Structure 1
Amino acid sequence: MTEPDESGARGLQSVERSFDIIEYLGQEDGATLSEAADDLGLAVSTAHIHLTTLVETGYVVKDDDVYRCSFEFLGTGGERRDGLALYQAAKPELDELQAETGEHTNVTVEERGYSVQLYKSESPHSIDDDASLGDHFYLHLTATGKAILAELSDERVAELLDRRGMPALTDDTITDEDVLYDELETIRERGYSINNGEHFPGVCAIGTAIASEPDGAIGAISISGPRSRITRERIEEELAPALLNKKNIIELKIRQFE
């Protein structure tokens, strides 16, 4: 007998189930058939159908009894990232900025109401939240996310906040919409945002949006490091001017690609 989600009428639910399994395998760094079925609340037969199909398509690999996501996702995501003018323009500039400041530098884009990390130039002398490439972050609690929000209308910001909410990850995370809107106005006036331990305890970052006509903000760049070094004085005297200079260079380079 066919499982309900395997019928033609429920085809989309079947696709969603496969992606639930992929996300689960990514989070768990692999699982056996019985583990996947138990954790996802699936019949073993249903989990087996999905996993077998994903193995056949190459998006999941099976090592002995353990299923894991394959590197197909790395190729797919990498091709998309490498084709972006933002990434091509930002990467060498962020490498240079990292060398100049001794802190990590990042570039992100907004996708589905999240900030997605495209690239991080890491300094051996700095620390941050240790996020991986492709990680998704809430916009309201990162420097790049707030920089992107500041480029949007209040109506669009409200739509994104309604969609994703404003969860707190630290005691310093902004969870009041009025406070966030006030901060976004400040960001618009000075040209850069600050995340002061709002995403990860002890880590501070400053960010600024990257704009491209006629698309508006297409992403954002940031400098991040320990709170003890990313002080208000250093931000104003060194880091913000350096970040805004790279913003201008990146935007000019992107125009050459258009």
Structure 2
Amino acid sequence: MTGSDGSDTRRLKSVNQSFKIVDYLHESGGSTLSQTAEDLDMPLSTVHIYLSTLVETGYVVKCDNEYHSSFQFLRMGGEMRDRMALFQAAKPELDDLQEKTGEHTNATVEQNGYSVQLYKSHSPESIDDDAPLGDHLHLHSTATGKAILAQLAEETVSEIVAKRGLPALTDDTITDEGVLHEELETVRERGYSINRGEHFPGVSAVGTAIVSEPDDAVGAISISGPISRMDPDRIEDELAPELLNKKNIIELKIRQYE
């Protein structure tokens, strides 16, 4: 609650400003005090206080006259990921799947209406959108995202769509909610989802949800590669069966880590 003096509001604004500065430093690759103040349209003295405090906490480092995000975020994210049952169960299976198929394999989780890249096993023989670990992707445009959405109630899907929208990332991206719901029904019937150039031109993927309890997707896994190699016959005859086999193994293994 906000007090009559507005103190809670000021504290929340302070936290918001801190993360705004951290995001700016990350996106810019580092910046000087004056440049940060100018780009964020904030008083120089105020930015100096924020940056000095962030340096003291260790989440920002100062190199010469430039400020940069520190590796504290890498440590925190890495430790968080390594503790996840999904990551522990999926990593060796995705590495094996990558070797069998010669394509990239991926694991993602849903967070705040996005699909977050948790792990990727790279194949030297394949290519995809090369999303970095931790990247936040729109659920409706990726195979893992659609696999997760297919596990959710229609009302929940509509809430996510209302919050995040259905932006057209390529000419093939689904941008109509009715069409998306029809696609998700197909995913439920088939057991896996397909993305054909919907997130990145020329890249295809097949995905399936990892479920710990009925109707509860803890994440999803996928195989991704160039559309030229991910034709419908190969997906149906080879890739989807291999993926679904790994789904079963991972779901069984997750119980050991929970």
Paired residue for 1:11? Answer: 11
Return the alpha-carbon distance in structure 1 between the equivalents of residues 80 and 214 of structure 2.
21
Residue 8 of structure 1, CA deviation: 6.5
Q: Secondary structure at the match of 1:167?
A: coil
- In structure 2, the residue matched to 1:172 is 172
d(CA) in 2 for partners of 1:83, 1:34: 40
C-alpha distance in structure 2 between counterparts of 1:38 and 1:155, whole Å? 43
**Structural mapping, 1:80-229, within 5 Å:** 80-213=80-213, 216-229=216-229
The TM-score with structure 2 as length reference comes to 0.95
Point out 4+ residue stretches in structure 1 off by more than 6 angstroms.
none
Aligned 8 A contact 2:151 2:215 in 1: no
Unaligned runs of 5+ in 2: 1-6
Q: Normalising by structure 1, what TM-score?
A: 0.95
Instruction: Give the whole-Å Cα distance in 2 for the aligned partners of 1:70 and 1:214.
Output: 40
Amino acid of the residue matched to residue 158 of structure 1? S
CA shift at 1:212, angstroms? 0.3
Number of aligned residue pairs: 252
- CA shift, 1:130, in A, is 1.2
Letter in 1 for 2:206: I
Change (3 A) 1:192 1:36: same
**Greater mean deviation of Cα atoms: 33-42 or 153-162:** 33-42
Q: Distance in 2 between matches of 1:212 and 1:89?
A: 12
Query: How many Å separate the matches in 2 of 1:191 and 1:228?
Result: 23
Q: Which residue of 2 aligns with 1:54?
A: 54
Which one is further off, 56-65 or 210-219?
210-219
What amino acid sits opposite 2:111 in the alignment? E
Superposed CA deviations along residues 8-52 of structure 1, whole A, max 9, x for unmatched, are: 650111101110111111111111112211221211111111111
CA contact (8 A) 2:196 2:203 kept: yes
Amino acid aligned to 2:26: G
The DSSP-based 3-state class of the residue aligned with 1:222 is strand
Query: Taking every aligned residue pair, what percent have the same amino acid on both sides?
Result: 70
Q: Is the 8 A contact 2:152 2:215 kept in 1?
A: no
For residues 228 and 9 of structure 2, the distance between their equivalents in structure 1, rounded to whole angstroms, comes to 58
Deviation digits for residues 112-153 of structure 1 (CA, Å, limit 9, x no counterpart): 110001110000111111111000001110110000000000
Gaps of 5+ in 1: 1-6
Q: Which residue of 2 aligns with 1:20?
A: 20
One-letter identity of the residue aligned with 1:23:
D
* Cα distance between partner residues in 1 of 2:215 and 2:27: 33
Q: CA deviation at 1:214?
A: 6.1
Counterpart in 2 of 1:32? 32
Matches within 5 A, 1:69-88: 69-88=69-88
RMSD: 1.2
